Structure 1
Amino acid sequence: MTDPADRSTPSSTPASAGAPRAGGATPYRERLVPGVGGWAAALGFALVLGIALWPASHAIALGVGALAAVAGVAGLWWTSPVVAVADGELRAGRAHIPVSLLGQVTTLDAEAMRVQLGPRLDARAYVCLRAWARTGVHVALDDPQDPTPYWLVSTRHPQRLADAIRAARAS
């Protein structure tokens, strides 16, 4: 396997970000929700649906439009994966793994993430990807029982996630 990334991002977040827990590990939690454009698209769809039904019935148009807006926002929220480091585990979406089985952690800027998802992607890798989070981390696995060579996880804060994984492994 080739080097996980040619480019890594420098930390844009101070090392003091996130209060350490008792025991020294810094917890990390991030929900990969869409950006403003994703929310606007969901609300825009609801608005268009309401406008389309307006000639038939104002009450139905308002009701269906409001219901579509609530359903769209709720759907975007509930389908957004959570990336977390807590209680000795890395969680990315529905998958989780003890930090004791994790190897090298590499932060990836947008270009390095693009390379990892393209020419360097190993089909056996676990990928938790959201297009609106363009940066991420590459986490090698040290588990002889698991054929997965690494996890590739989207995050808007790759340095904070990498620091949390390293801190959890050290504690």
Structure 2
Amino acid sequence: MQPYEERLSAPPSWWLIAILIGVSVGLIMLPFGTLPMLGGLIGGAALACVGVSSYGSARVRVVADSLVAGEAKIPVSALGTPQVLDAEEAAAWRSYKADPQAFMLLRSYIPTALRVEVTDPEDPTPYVYVSTRDPKALAAALTAVRSA
């Protein structure tokens, strides 16, 4: 079996924006004095960093016989053949080709993805869309689990 694990962490520019949010809150608090300004700077930056960290904490893993994507755990036996999506195809499946019933773990800052049909007749979800930096490795891991 070929293990796979990836954390969909936020890009460095998002962390810079979080720090700038803290600076903005500090500047807003400046008229109230130095201590409120420092509190706003630290508090605003901390809250923004917590938001970026929680959004970027999504993980994609192949564990035992399941695909774990964020909060979802999907048995590989309920999945069809994985389809590797390049940046152009991934953008299409995120927008005009998207099905509202599909399970999507997407991150806009990751251009590539993997799309896998759900073959379980009891599940109304048509497919799983997972943003990943290495869709070929994820597809290989799912195929290896299915073959084992």
Q: For 2:134 and 2:33, locate their aligned partners in 1 and report how far apart those are by CA, in whole Å.
A: 47
Q: What secondary structure, in the 3-state scheme, does the structure 2 residue paired with 1:130 have? A: coil
Q: What secondary structure, in the 3-state scheme, does the structure 2 residue paired with 1:55 have? A: helix
Q: What secondary structure, in the 3-state scheme, does the structure 2 residue paired with 1:83 have? A: strand
User: How many residue pairs were aligned?
Assistant: 147
- Aligned with residue 128 of structure 1, among 105, 117, 132: 105
Q: What secondary structure, in the 3-state scheme, does the structure 2 residue paired with 1:54 have? A: helix
Match of 2:39 in 1: 63
**Greater relative contact order (Cα < 8 A, sep 6+):** 1
- Aligned with residue 84 of structure 2, among 107, 124, 135: 107
Match of 2:144 in 1: 167
Map 1:1-171; keep pairs closer than 5 Å.
25-80=1-56, 81-171=58-148
Q: What secondary structure, in the 3-state scheme, does the structure 1 residue paired with 2:50 have? A: helix
Q: What secondary structure, in the 3-state scheme, does the structure 1 residue paired with 2:16 have? A: helix
Gaps of at least 5 residues in structure 2 are none
CA contact (8 A) 2:113 2:130 kept: yes
Match of 1:5 in 2: none
Q: For 2:30 and 2:100, locate their aligned partners in 1 and report how far apart those are by CA, in whole Å.
A: 48
TM-score by length of 1: 0.79
The percentage of aligned residue pairs carrying the same residue is 35
Could you report, residue by residue, the CA deviation over 1:12-69 in whole angstroms, capped at 9, with x for unpaired residues? xxxxxxxxxxxxx222222222212211111111111112222322122112211222
Aligned-residue Cα RMSD (Å) equals: 1.5
Higher helix share: 2
TM-score by length of 2: 0.90
Match of 1:3 in 2: none
